[in-house]
Amino acid sequence: MIEIRDAVLNTELHLWGWEVAAYLFLGGLAAGLLVFASWAHLTGRRREFLPAVRAAVLLIPPIIVAGLFLLWLDLGSKWSPFWLYLTLRPLSPMSWGAWILLAVFVTSALAAAPAAHAEIEAGRWREAARWRRSVGRLSRWAGPNLRALAWANLVGGLVLGLYTGVLLGTMVARPALNSPLLGPLFLVSGLSTAAALLLLLVPGGPWGRLLTRAEVAAHSLKLVLLGFYLLGLATSTAYAQASASMLVRGAWAWAFWTLVVAAGALMPLGVALAELNTRRVTRAVAVSSYVLVLAGGLALRVVLVYAGQRGL
Amino acid sequence: MARLAMAVDLERCVGCQACAVACATENEAPDGFVRRRVGEAVAGDSLVDLRLQFLHMQCYHCENPPCIPACPTGATYVNRDGLCLVDYNICIGCRACVAACPYGMRYPHPRGFVDKCSLCDHRVYSGRQPACVETCPTQALTFGDLDDSRSPISRAVLEARRVEQDRPETGARPKFYILNGAVGCAEVRR
């Protein structure tokens, strides 16, 4: 029997808080929107899905900026984040993540320029009228290069979605986080939250059925990955097993089972399947389901960021 | 080029905390934070089997430190003598190194950067011992170059009956040797 009598040994180290969890959520959301918009462009379905694609491309840059703001808010030293862009450290996921965010912000902003210019020209964005010339210039440059930008955004979106999970997954000293499955899990979760957001904001249209199908695939894959993730922890070291039991029946179990699994995946999966098969789902139920997907996506990051702070 | 390291002889340590106080004073640790601390663990299932062990906790200046690749700006680095240090001017306080350290030996300083034991490099490079080593009233702490067979630490490690490192399974290869412990390191869990 070992009894630790020094309280200082048992203190939880404060690592990352809600800012990082929310940043990872927004990163995944932006990644999902990037993949959808780029895919629609590259497969020639941009015109068919225009309202949804327009909403996606216009949402991505502000979402990335909001994510970067949260990341900055979490930093201990608020005046020195520029050091991230004076170094490139290939073995540090946070370093290449900073560069990915910058690159994706630039390419997504360029891809959004024609849509933003059209909004300003149509007089719908009166507050942005003074930016008309600058946005117009960007739009003229981006217009002929939209296909190249779509490729860049597709790759950037996939890498960004994976990165949000890899950032946590490479923390070898935190057994609950140290899993290679977190990258794919966060990417799939990001895709599902993006689909839910688009279905929430731009209902109806030919994109509805496609996005609902994407929801079914993403939720199913998410459940499989969550299962393998827990299995990986349960069959690993004693530290990892303790982390798994914390998620399954410990302090974070209620949030994990109710918010992440039930509300974030099982219930929306049921609603999406019903929608595809019977088409008898009311708008109220569908909206609730989309909100649950978004809440579940956020809960996944919050639970893993907080529960994962338990060290070796 | 040296391989600077530290060792604690637990047969000599009386748990007086003088090392922790000297460290906090020397390095002006902020209120509520320490770079070095000494805890205690009690092992044994019955009264006659009870054993007490002091746990010395500070940065182990590992030979394969996981904190180094985790740092996105290169603020944390290993110098030519194997000391794992933090450049406070470059550190952005992202705490990736805190998350990467398997021993939990780093802490976020209230001034924004991440702080930890530097083995008093400012003293070492002016020919002195780290504050904790100099202060220890029982000479339980030893510091020196592992590559020099005549250094105090090489002799202490060689002469010890039992030599251990904290959780070698992490692969970090800490350069902090626990000598003559009454309780095996594997038994002691934080």
Nearest to A15 among B92, B95, B190 (CB): B95
Taking a C-beta distance cutoff of 8 angstroms, is the pair A298, A21 a contact?
A: yes
- Which of B40, B96, B108 comes nearest A5 by C-beta? B40
Give the best residue of B95, B183, B185 to mutate against chain A (max A CB count within 10 A): B95
With a CB cutoff of 8 Å and minimum separation 6, the contacts of A79 are none
pLDDT for B186: 57
Say yes or no: A14 contacts chain B, CB-CB below 8 A: yes
Q: What is the pLDDT of residue A12?
A: 47
Cβ separation of A311 and B104 shorter than 8 Å?
Answer: yes
Q: How far is CA B59 from CA A172, A214, B25, B85, B87, in A?
A: 17, 48, 17, 10, 15
A13 touches chain B (CB under 8 A): yes
E strand or H helix that includes residue A154: helix A146-169
Q: Is the pLDDT of residue B145 over 90?
A: yes
- pLDDT at position A145 is 87
The amino acid occupying position B69 is P
Give the residue from A11, A16, A92, A243 with the most B CB atoms within 10 Å of its CB, the best one to mutate: A92
Q: A97 contacts in B (CB within 8 Å)?
A: 72
The predicted pLDDT at position B187 comes to 61
Residue B153 near residue B4 (C-beta atoms within 8 A): no
pLDDT < 70 stretches in chain A: 1-14, 310-312
Mean pLDDT of B44-61: 83
Closest-approach residue (CA) in chain B for A10: B190
Alpha-carbon distances, residue A302 vs A10, A21, A22, A178, A306 (angstroms): 22, 5, 8, 16, 6
Sheet containing B141-145: which strands, arranged edge to edge? Answer: B141-145, B4-9, B176-179, B163-164
How do B4-9 and B176-179 pair as beta strands? parallel
Q: Does pLDDT of B56 surpass 80?
A: yes
Whether B92 sits inside 8 A of A80 (CB atoms) is: yes
DSSP A186-250: HHHHHHHHHHHHHHHHS-SSTHHHHHHHHHHHHHHHHHHHHHHHHHHHHTS-HHHHHHHHHHHHS
Cα-based angle A220, A221, A225 (whole degrees, multiple of 5): 125
Contact between residue B97 and residue B70 where contact means Cβ atoms under 8 Å apart: yes
Q: How would DSSP label each residue in A53-113?
A: HHHHHHHHHHHHHHHHHHHHHH-S-TT-GGGGGS---TT-HHHHHHHHHHHHHHHHHHHHH
Indicate the residue of A2, A98, A172 with minimum beta-carbon distance to B43: A2
- The residue range of the domain holding A71 is 2-309
Q: Which of B71, B64, B53 is nearest to B174 (CA)?
A: B64
Please tell me the distance in Å from B74's CA to the nearest CA on chain A. 7
CATH number of the structural domain spanning residue A152: 1.20.1630.10
For the entire predicted model, the pTM comes to: 0.88
Q: Which helix (H) or strand (E) holds B77?
A: strand B76-78
Residues A247 and A303 sit within 8 Å (Cβ to Cβ): yes
Say what the pLDDT of residue A8 is.
39
Q: What is the pLDDT of residues B69-87, one digit of tens each?
A: 999 999 999 999 999 999 9
Give me the phi and psi of B14, to 5 degrees please. -110, 5
Find the helix or strand (DSSP H, E) in which B98 lies: helix B96-100
Residue A172 sits at the vertex; the CA angle it makes with A171 and A174, to the nearest 5 degrees, is 70
How confident is the model over B20-33, as pLDDT tens digits? 999 999 998 888 78
What mean pLDDT is predicted for residues B151-168? 91
Closest by CA to B137, choosing from B5, B52, B39, B12, is: B12
Residue A136 C-alpha, separation from nearest chain B C-alpha, in angstroms: 36
Cβ distance A89 to B69 less than 8 Å, yes or no, reads yes
**Strands B163-164 and B37-43, how do they pair?**
unpaired
CA angle A243, A246, A249 (to 5 degrees): 140
> How far, in Å, CA of A22 to CA of A145, rounded?
32
Q: If you average pLDDT over residues B28-49, what whole number do you get?
A: 82
Number of structural domains (chain A) is: 1
Helix or strand or coil: residue B2? coil
Pairing of strands A2-4, B76-78: unpaired
Q: Which helix (H) or strand (E) holds A132?
A: helix A132-142
Per-residue CA distances from B29 to A96, B8, B108, B109, B110 (Å): 32, 22, 11, 9, 10
